[in-house]
Chains A and B, each alone.
Chain A
């Protein structure tokens, strides 16, 4: 599969701070996805992006599909302790093709 580079690898922030993370690929994707994995659970889909340049929000989360189709960004505003977990980006070239995942960004939030 295609290699996705996700950064940062980990973040340690205080409650109330905003968070930004990104994902880049050497190849284009037609769908970009962001998942969150809580400790002891499987990943849960947060946001799906379908079009280059698209900006989509889900509560305090905002994600963008990069204009080159080779990157995506996730922002979390006003972080809270329950935001703790691992955030994965994933890209899909076409429906029916495998998802390619990044290695994840581990987020820790202190009260």
Chain B
């Protein structure tokens, strides 16, 4: 595998379900990001991790819970979501938060539908 991979690619879940999104980067980077992409809206930054430490939580509701066990893996745990949480969730990585942090490599995303 190369680059940034995300699984699953598609997920349909009910509002009472608990599920997790997984991201893995094979680039040797130390910063990882979760973004939400909704139609007709700019990409919204959700969480940032730098060397496994969370550095930013962009006022994200607690029904989204990130986890970064090491610099290569990032998870987004989901529970009791709302229909408006349906979106494409993108993971990205960069060298680290302060070196070339603009040069972010994105995964293909997980298309989430909440029913």
Give residues in A with beta carbon < 8 Å to B.
Answer: 1, 4, 31, 33, 40-45, 48, 88, 90, 92, 95-104
Contact of A96 among B41, B97, B105 (CB under 8 A): B97
Q: Are B92 and A48 in contact (CB under 8 A)?
A: no
CB of B41 to closest CB in A, whole Å: 7
Q: Using CB atoms, name the residue of chain A closest to B99.
A: A95
Q: How large is the interface on B (under 10, 10 to 19, 20 to 34, 35 or more residues)?
A: 20 to 34
Q: Are A41 and B98 in contact (CB under 8 A)?
A: no
CB of B87 to closest CB in A, whole Å: 13
Q: Using CB atoms, name the residue of chain B closest to A42.
A: B106
A and B contact pairs by CB, cutoff 8 A, 28 listed: A1-B45, A4-B42, A33-B102, A41-B106, A41-B109, A42-B4, A42-B91, A42-B106, A42-B108, A42-B109, A44-B106, A45-B103, A45-B104, A88-B42, A95-B97, A95-B98, A95-B99, A95-B100, A95-B101, A96-B97, A97-B101, A98-B45, A98-B56, A99-B102, A100-B42, A101-B43, A103-B42, A104-B42
Give residues in B with beta carbon < 8 Å to A.
Answer: 4, 40-43, 45, 48, 56, 58, 90-92, 97-109
CB of A20 to closest CB in B, whole Å: 20
CB of A24 to closest CB in B, whole Å: 14
Q: Are A96 and B40 in contact (CB under 8 A)?
A: no
Which 7 pairs across A and B sit closest by C-beta, in order of nearness?
Answer: A42-B106, A101-B42, A101-B43, A96-B98, A92-B102, A98-B45, A43-B106
A residues near B43, Cβ cutoff 8 Å: 43, 88, 99, 101
Once A98-B56, A99-B102 are accepted as A-B contacts, the answer to whether A42 and B92 lie under 8 Å apart by CB is: yes
